[in-house]
Amino acid sequence: MGFPVRVLQLFGVVMSSLIPSILILFPGTTEAAEAQDQSEYGVEEIIVTARKRSESLQETPIAISAFSAEDMQERSLTNLMEVGSFAPNVQMSVGASGSGGGNNSQIYIRGIGQIDFLFTTDPGVGTYVDGVYHPRTLGGVLDLLDLERVEILRGPQGTLFGKNTIGGAINVITAKPSREREGSFEITGGELNRLDVRASYNTPLSDSLALRVAVSSKKRDGYAKRIDFNTSKTIDHQGDEESLGARAALRWEPSDTTRADLTLDWTKENEESVPTTLAQFDANAPLAGLWNALVGSPAGTPMSDAFITNDPYTTYGTGPNRNLLDAWGTSLTIEHEFPNVTLKSITAYRETDGSFGRDGDGSPLPIVHTNQDQQGDNFSQELQLTGLAVDNRLTWLLGAFYFEETGIDKNDVRLVSGLYDALEGLPAALICLGPGGTPPCAGGAGNPVNAALDLDFDIYNKIEITSYAFFTHLTYDFSERLSLSGGIRYTYEKKDYTLDHKRVNSGVAIVPRTTVNNDWSEVSPKISLDFQWLENVLAYASISRGFKSGGFNGRPTVASEVESYDPEFVTTYELGIKSELFDHRLRLNGAVFFNDYEDIQVSSVSADSTGNLVLVVDNVASADVSGFELELLARPIPELEISGSLGYIDAEYTDVGSATEISKSSKFVKTPKWNSSLGVQYSLSVGAEGMIRLRADLSYTDKVYQDPQNTESIAQDSFTLTNLRASYEQTSQRWELAAFVTNATDEEYIIAGLQALASFGTAEAVYGPPREYGITFRKWF
C-alpha cells in the first residue's frame, strides 16, 4: 500500500488553514524588527543529541520534540509522563493497567507501546537516561529532577540507540557538572497538603574535577478516597505522593581530549495505589454468577453494580492499597578523542525493587485483588566510535551494545476467593460447567474439578535476558544542501523464562516449576535523504525498520498456555519538514508518516467454554497506521511566546488472524485520532530588574480506548486539560515566585483501565488528578 492519500490531504488542509493565521501574526519584517537584537526576537536554538552528536534540532532529519528544563518548569510539570501531553501523537500516563502502581509508566508513540507491566513483555518505546536504557515500566515515572532537557523521538531508532526500540525513544539528559559554583533551591506548597522540596548544587573540586548533587522530596495526600459501603466514612486514600530522590554526578576532565562522567541516582517511594474505581459490573458473567450463588448471596452480600460509586474519586474497595519503590543505579561514561576518531563507553548497572497492589472490583468483597512484588537488575555496556572522513563529508558511527537483565515477579492473585471452599462443601458434583449444563461438573469434597475454579494463585515468574547488538549510522554530504543518511542494526536476544504457579486453596499446580526459552535475531535498516531547500528550511524523507523482541505469556491459567510469542515489526515511511521563518521568530516543523505494522502482540482476557479465566498473548494482527504531526514555536513580539502541536493518527487493522476479541474495526489502545496542545506565555518587565510572566497551556486528547476490546465503560471521551501559571522573577537577586493551577477546569478523565467482563464481570478505571492549586518559590545562587 502506498502513502495514504487521505493523510496527505488532511495535512494539506491543516497547513492551508494554519498559514493564513501565521501571516496575521507575522505580517512582515519591519525595519524596527530588523533593528531588534536577535536574542530578543528569535526563538532560541535547541541543541539535541539524538544522532549521538550535538546538532541543532532544525538540522536533524528526525521527528523530535525537545523540552528544556525551563519549558517543563513553566508548564508546571513534575514527572516524565506529563511531558507527553505536549508532543504530537504521544500518550504517556501512570498506572499501567491492572497494576495499581503509580510508578509504572505507560508510553505510546504513533500507536505503538506497551499496555502490560510484566517483565515478560518488552516496551514498544525505549526510555534512555544519559544514554542508559531503562528496560521496564516499573520505575518509569521519572522525577524531572535537575534535567537539561527531554527529547521525544518518534519512529524506530535502532541505528542510533544501544537497545532496539520500535515505536520511538524518550531521551532524558540530566544536568552535568561544570566548573561554575552554582545552585538552586525550590519549594512548592499546595492543595492536599502538598509539599515539594528540591535543591541542586554544583561545585568544582579541582581544575579537572567537578561535582553536582540534586535532591528531591515530594509529599501530597491522595486525591481519591476509599469509603465504607455501609457508613460512607473514609477508610483511607489513593493517589498520594511520598517520594525521595537524589542524584550525584562527578565529571573528570584530565585533558582536552578525555572526559569521564560518573553518576549515581536513588529513588524511594512509599505510597498508596493509584485511584482505581469500579466502572461496570455484569452479574451474568460466569464466574461472577457462580460466586454470588455459592458465596456472596449465602453470606448476605452478593457482588452487584451497587458498588459502582459513580464518583471517579471514590471506591468501596478494601483490598490491596500500596505502591512502593526502591531503585538505584550507577553509570560511567568515558569519552576520548583520538585524532579523527572519538571513542565513547557507557557502562551502567541498575536495581529496582517495587511492590504494588490494587482492588480491581471496587467493593469490600474478594472478587479481584492482586499484590505484586517485582525485583530486577540489569547491566549494560555500550561502545561508540564516531568520526569524520572523505574530506569531512562523511560522518560515521559504529556501535556495539551488550545487555543482561534478571527480573523476578511474585504475584498474589485472589480472584473470587471462597469459591473453592464453597464447592468443596457441596454434597455432590452439582455444578456442571460444560455448554448447556453438561460435564465436567464441580462440587463435592475431593472432586478434582473443583481445582479448576480455585482462582487464588501464587505466581512466581523469573526472566533472564541476554541481548547484544551491532549498529552503524552514516551521513554523507553531497553538498552543503543535500545529505544522505543510512544505517543498519543487527540484534540478538535470548530469554529464559522460569515459572512456578500454584492454586492456593487446593494446592494444585497450574504450572509446576518450568523453564522455557527462546531467542530471536533481526536486522533493522534505515535510510533517509535530507535537502536544505532554503537557509532555514530542511526537508527529509526516510524509511526505517524496527522490531520489538518476542516474549512469554506471563499469566498462564493452564499449562498449555506456557508459550512464547514472536517479535513484532514495523516499517515506517516518513516525510518531514523543519523551518524557521520571519527572522527566526517562527519555528514550524511537520511530518507525515505511514507504518506497516506486522505481527502485533495482542494480550486478551477472556473465558473458555466453562466460563473459566483465559489469559493469552499472541501475534495475531497486522495494521496500517498513518498520520501527521505539526509543531510550532513563535515569538511574534519579544513579550509573547506561542507554542503548539497537532497530531493525527489513522490506525486500522488489516488482519486479526485467529483473534476472537478484536476485529478489523477495533481501535488501537492508547491511540487517539487527534491530539493537540497550545501554550501562550506573555512576559512583562517590571522596573529594571523584575519580570512578570503569565502562561496558559491547553492539551486536547481525542477519544482513547484503554484495552484491545474497546470496552466503552473504561474508554475516555475527548477531553482538554488546562494549566495556568503566573510568576514574578527578580533577575538581579535571582529568585522567582509562581502561582499555578493544574487541570483548571476540573476535568474528570481516565488514564488507565482493565476489564474482565467475560469472566468476573468487572471493569475498572483509573482517573487522573482533579484541579489543584499551588505556589512555588525558587532561588538561584
User: Mean pLDDT over residues 332-357, rounded?
Assistant: 96
- What is the DSSP track for 601-661? EEEEEEE-TTS-EEEEEEEEEEEEEEEEEEEEEEEEETTEEEEEEEEEEEEEEEE-TT-SS
Residue 732 pLDDT: 86
Encode 262-283: b = buried (16+ Cβ within 10 Å), e = exposed. bbebebebebbbbbbbbbbbbe
621-668: pLDDT as tens digits = 899 999 999 999 999 999 999 999 999 999 999 998 877 778 899 999
Going from the N-terminus, what domains does the chain have, and what CATH number goes with each? 5-375+455-780 (2.40.170.20), 418-454 (no CATH)
Cis peptide before 512 (omega within 30 of 0): no
Residue with cell 511474585: 410
Residue 17 pLDDT: 63
Residue 3 pLDDT: 57
Return phi, psi of residue 473, to 5°: -145, 130
Looking at the chain, the whole-number percentage of residues with pLDDT higher than 90 is 81
User: Mean pLDDT over residues 18-41, rounded?
Assistant: 53
pLDDT greater than 60 at residue 28: no
Per-residue H/E/C for 182-198: EEEEEEEEECCCEEEEE
What is the DSSP code (8-state) at residue 393? T
| Residues 241, 268: Cα–Cα separation, whole Å | 11
pLDDT level of residue 33 (50, 70, 90 thresholds): very low
Q: Per DSSP, what are the bridge partners of residue 594? A: 573, 626
User: Mean pLDDT over residues 314-328, rounded?
Assistant: 96
pLDDT greater than 90 at residue 606: no
User: Mean pLDDT over residues 337-364, rounded?
Assistant: 96
pLDDT level of residue 609 (50, 70, 90 thresholds): low
pLDDT greater than 50 at residue 96: yes
Residue 36 pLDDT: 43
257-312: pLDDT as tens digits = 999 999 999 999 999 999 999 999 999 999 999 999 999 999 999 999 999 999 99
Residues 6+ apart with CB under 8 A from 391: none
Looking at the chain, the whole-number percentage of residues with pLDDT higher than 70 is 93
| Residues 79, 229: Cα–Cα separation, whole Å | 34
- What is the DSSP track for 72-91? HHHTT--BGGGGGGGSTTEE
Summary mean pLDDT of the chain: 92
Residue 32 pLDDT: 39
pLDDT level of residue 13 (50, 70, 90 thresholds): low
How much is the pTM? 0.94
pLDDT greater than 80 at residue 41: no
Residue 19 pLDDT: 63
571-580: pLDDT as tens digits = 999 999 999 9
Residue 37 pLDDT: 45
User: Mean pLDDT over residues 536-559, rounded?
Assistant: 91
696-711: pLDDT as tens digits = 999 999 999 999 899 9
486-541: pLDDT as tens digits = 999 999 999 999 999 999 999 999 999 999 999 999 999 999 999 999 989 999 99
pLDDT level of residue 16 (50, 70, 90 thresholds): low
pLDDT level of residue 39 (50, 70, 90 thresholds): very low
pLDDT greater than 50 at residue 38: no
Lowest mean pLDDT among 113-117, 270-274, 743-747: 113-117
Which has more pLDDT, 408 or 18? 408
Give CA separation, 490 vs 361, 519, 587, in Å.
45, 14, 36
Query: Backbone dihedral region of 52: left (phi > 0), alpha (psi from -120 to 50 degrees) or beta?
Result: left
175-219: pLDDT as tens digits = 999 999 999 999 999 999 999 999 999 999 999 999 999 999 999
How far from each other are the two terminal CA atoms of the chain, in whole angstroms? 58
Q: Are 122 and 113 in contact (CB under 8 A)?
A: no
Return phi, psi of residue 256, to 5°: -70, -15
pLDDT level of residue 95 (50, 70, 90 thresholds): confident
pLDDT greater than 50 at residue 31: no
Per-residue H/E/C for 118-147: CCCCCCCEEEEECCEEECCCECCCCECCCE
